[in-house]
Structure 1
């Protein structure tokens, strides 16, 4: 794939319906991108893809470096990231980042954005999902048992996407970010954050979207896949 094109395997509505027992090898995902987000089989932990390396952020707040040849994902979104815009700024929270990105890309309301932030953070609040207890357990039920962690005075990287409203259910509409510490020992799905002064921000607008749906997957074939917009907003924080 070319730079700054979205590749996605499966859809968020499938996770909402508990479709997570199978998937595709992460090595195949990396054929399409080196930067992104996702989860793992049975929704055990949060995935971050950074510089072509894959990390699993677990419910206890720890991080494991993943061998992509040996691990499967039921859902992932990646791109081959090449920034078109860079800046330095102090950012307080998701609302501050939303305002910053809108200012950097005023004509991208109905496009995708890919984002990376590197620097020091006063505080980062994250959550991580521990995984399904039973097959086809819904994402809402899985996330009801999620754990939260607060990291203070930490250096690290935020990776994520902004997706347009019309893809809700296919992906997560709005901003969706994961964090990993500089030492690759801590991380998770971002609930809140505050930078410690200016951080480096790199981003690009994307207009090419490639979606691959699971095949020969009984769970996916039988799932209702009805839009659960409020449920998605609740679990994504």
Structure 2
């Protein structure tokens, strides 16, 4: 796939309905990019793809390098072959502050995707990690009720993510969806809140091509209601 195109496997409404027992090998996802996020089979932990390398961030606080992506399954992932079209330095006090910065940088991208990367030192980062399903088809809201929250302070690392337009809610997560991993690849998770320690490097690209692959030969996906639950998705994704 060309640079700055979005590839997505499955849809967020499927995770909401607990469709996570099967999926696709992460190696297939990596054919489409080097910058992304998602989850793992049975929603065990958070996925971050940074410079083409995949890490699993678990609820016990550990981070695992996925050494064999062909043997590891994801039920949901979003990825791009990232090439920044805008690069700036900025001090950011919150997710809301980041949202305002992105809107200033890309005023004509309201209905497009943005791929985001930030590198630097963060004064504080509040993340959550999901422990996984306790039974097949357990819905994402139930899994999220058992999520573990961690706060890191004065940590150097990288934020990877996407901004998705409002109309995509239910297919993906509308708004800014961000994951963090520290420089030593030992800590990370799905970002709930953050503040930088002074300026960090902010790299962004605008994306206009969006490719979705739906699961096949998957009984869970075939039987899922896939009813859009905007409030539920917003609640579990923070």
TM-score by length of 1: 1.00
Between the aligned partners of 2:7 and 2:202, the Cα distance in structure 1 is 22
Question: Which deviations, in whole Å up to 9, do the C-alpha atoms of 1:132-186 show, x marking residues without a partner?
Answer: 0000000000000000000000000000000000000000000000000000000
Deviation at 1:4, TM superposition (A): 0.2
Give the equivalent residue in structure 1 for 2:142: 141
CA distance in 1, matches of 2:93, 2:111: 24
Using the alignment, how far apart are the partners of 2:39 and 2:235 within structure 1? 17
- 1:149 is paired with a residue whose SS is strand
- The residue number in structure 2 matching 1:199 is 200
2:152 aligns with: 151
- Which residue of structure 2 lines up, in the alignment, with residue 127 of structure 1? 128
**Segments of 4+ moved more than 6 angstroms:** none
SS state at 2:61 partner: coil
Q: How many residues align?
A: 237
> What are the within-5 Å matches in structure 2 for residues 168-179 of structure 1?
168-179=169-180
| Structure 1 counterpart of 2:23 | 23
* CA apart distance, 1:118: 0.1
Give the superposition deviation at 1:26: 0.2
User: Are residue 81 (structure 1) and residue 82 (structure 2) matched?
Assistant: yes
CA distance in 2 between counterparts of 1:160 and 1:167 reads: 15
Structure 2 unaligned spans of 5+: none
RMSD in angstroms over aligned alpha carbons? 0.4
Q: CA deviation at 1:69?
A: 1.5
Structure 1, unaligned stretches of length 5 or more? Answer: none
Query: 1:4 maps to what in 2?
Result: 4
Aligned positions of 1:15-164 closer than 5 A:
15-66=15-66, 67-164=68-165
- Secondary structure at 1:118's aligned position in 2? strand
SS of aligned partner of 1:69: helix
